[in-house]
Structure 1
Amino acid sequence: MRRPRGQERPITGNRQNSWAFADEYCAELVESAAGDALRWARDRARDAGLNPVSAGSGAALQLLAATAGSKAVAEIGTGTGVSGIHLLRGMRPDGVLTTVDLEPERQQFARQAFHAAGFTGNRARLIPGRALDVLPRLADGGYDLVFCDADRGEYPEYLEESLRLLRAGGLVCFEGVFAEHRTVDSGVQQTDVLRLRELLRTVRESTDLMPSLLPTGDGLLCAVRLEQSTARH
């Protein structure tokens, strides 16, 4: 039962500890399985000043990709391949990851990481370029999952493109929606946080999506694209 506004359960130290424990649990579970390739990709990300997905978020992505039986996944923001490894591990053995990034040199690190993790070259299609220029070229309804981890200010536009790309029953996921706690801060915020709030509101109110906000990493917003006949009203 939903609590009345203003009577939500407070976030206690115990709850924060539980969230931290959940992320650490996944860190042990995932890191031991992923091995050197994942650790190497994380090191390259830190060297480049990037914040790759947490172990908990990576484990969630792997689980979601597996649950969806993903054969085709689109990723916006390749980075150095950390999230890509998680996604590929959850996908079908014949699945292909299409991943887009502005920085080709980062994609070279990702390519090395994918190879080191044991994935053949035909498992990943790496496309350099701005996401909003590349996404319109991808096939309508051709993807089981779309993962977004790039320019937070463009997330609402990524959502629009994702709805076109996803098959019915497919998933869209957005990393970093907490914006290091700024999204829920009542103070004056920059444009990127305002755009995240717009995204959260749009996803929650959409009749085409069934959403959930996972408190892992820096916040992972996920939503299933509903069949038209089962959309909520």
Structure 2
Amino acid sequence: MNKTSYTNLSKAWEFTESYALDEQRAYLQEVRSKVEAQGHEQGSAAQARFLRMLVGLTNARSVILVGTAAAVETIEIIDAMHGSGQLTVVDSSSDGAAVIRSIFNDLDNVSDTRMRVVNATAGVFLPRLNAEDYDLIVVTGDASNYTATFQQSSRLLKQGGATIFTDMMGFAAPDSSGGLLNPVDREPKTLELRSLLNLVENDEHTESALIPVGTGMLLTTHQ
């Protein structure tokens, strides 16, 4: 690929994100604006839309979302479950957990999907869950969520289940200095993401794919 190709890819990434944001339903746009006004930056619209499609395509009915006030992703996942199954949200921030609980309260009358919100870190809560009980795990937010979730994923997932790590480029971190694209970025989340990529690459029982959706996503499954 030449310089023009890379420039076009950059423009395509921007176009895709703008398109996804414009296509978000009015309710989602309202939630995004409201939650961001409360100080909780929301993730990529294209990423959230991809998660919705993935849940639908895999017919996932038992999903874990590890995040920090991941309101948009929460709504997209619930919609994709079509009133069935259970979504477990693990949020280490008490403010973030309160945001997700308020969304659950709003959706309680329009969705039969069972929902629970836990204010705890991934490293503390995930080991308490039943083994081989989940179809999909989605990871967002704080740096501490990533490796801690990967270490539990093979135990928690059913046969054929997958884990999706979002913001794998590290652009969305509040202290980002370029994320993985900047070799000298030594911020906590960037270091965590580099460590996770190395861990996944060297795990002979894990299949993975790093894809440029949103701010980067890493898809993993276990053999």
Which of 4, 15, 36 is the equivalent residue of 2:9? Answer: 15
Question: How far apart, CA to CA, are the structure 2 residues paired with 1:17 and 1:206?
Answer: 34
Query: Alpha carbons of 1:188 and 1:94: their partners in 2 closer, same or farther (altered >3 Å)?
Result: closer
- Tell me, yes or no, if the aligned pair for 1:94 and 1:123 is still in contact at 8 Å: yes
Question: How far apart, CA to CA, are the structure 2 residues paired with 1:188 and 1:196?
Answer: 11
Which deviations, in whole Å up to 9, do the C-alpha atoms of 1:141-165 show, x marking residues without a partner?
A: 1111101113214411210112211
1:208-227 matches, cutoff 5 A: 208-226=205-223
TM normalised by structure 2 equals 0.85
Question: How far apart, CA to CA, are the structure 2 residues paired with 1:133 and 1:54?
Answer: 27
1:1-233 matches, cutoff 5 A: 12-29=6-23, 31-32=24-25, 35-36=26-27, 38-79=28-69, 81-117=71-107, 119-120=110-111, 123-180=114-171, 181-226=178-223
Question: How far apart, CA to CA, are the structure 2 residues paired with 1:44 and 1:182?
Answer: 27
**Structure 1 range deviating more: 139-148 or 185-194:** 185-194
For 1:187, give the aligned amino acid: V
Question: How far apart, CA to CA, are the structure 1 residues paired with 2:169 and 2:161?
Answer: 23
- Tell me, yes or no, if the aligned pair for 1:148 and 1:158 is still in contact at 8 Å: yes
Query: Structure 1: which 5+ residue stretches go unaligned?
Result: 1-7, 227-233
CA shift, 1:100, in A, is 1.0
- Tell me, yes or no, if the aligned pair for 1:78 and 1:106 is still in contact at 8 Å: yes
For 1:216, give the aligned amino acid: V
- Tell me, yes or no, if the aligned pair for 2:35 and 2:99 is still in contact at 8 Å: no
- Tell me, yes or no, if the aligned pair for 2:81 and 2:113 is still in contact at 8 Å: no
Q: How many aligned positions are there?
A: 215
Query: Alpha carbons of 1:108 and 1:182: their partners in 2 closer, same or farther (altered >3 Å)?
Result: closer
Query: Structure 2: which 5+ residue stretches go unaligned?
Result: 172-177
Which deviations, in whole Å up to 9, do the C-alpha atoms of 1:88-113 show, x marking residues without a partner?
A: 12225311100011234433332333
CA shift, 1:9, in A, is 5.8
Question: How far apart, CA to CA, are the structure 1 residues paired with 2:61 and 2:123?
Answer: 23
**Structure 1 range deviating more: 128-137 or 19-28:** 19-28
TM normalised by structure 1 equals 0.82
Pairwise CA RMSD of aligned residues? 2.3
Question: How far apart, CA to CA, are the structure 1 residues paired with 2:129 and 2:164?
Answer: 18
CA shift, 1:213, in A, is 1.7
Question: How far apart, CA to CA, are the structure 1 residues paired with 2:60 and 2:214?
Answer: 23
CA shift, 1:212, in A, is 1.7
Percent identity over the alignment is 25
Give the secondary-structure state (helix, strand or coil) at the position aligned to 1:64: helix
Question: How far apart, CA to CA, are the structure 2 residues paired with 1:90 and 1:196?
Answer: 28
Question: How far apart, CA to CA, are the structure 1 residues paired with 2:89 and 2:185?
Answer: 34
- Tell me, yes or no, if the aligned pair for 1:115 and 1:121 is still in contact at 8 Å: no
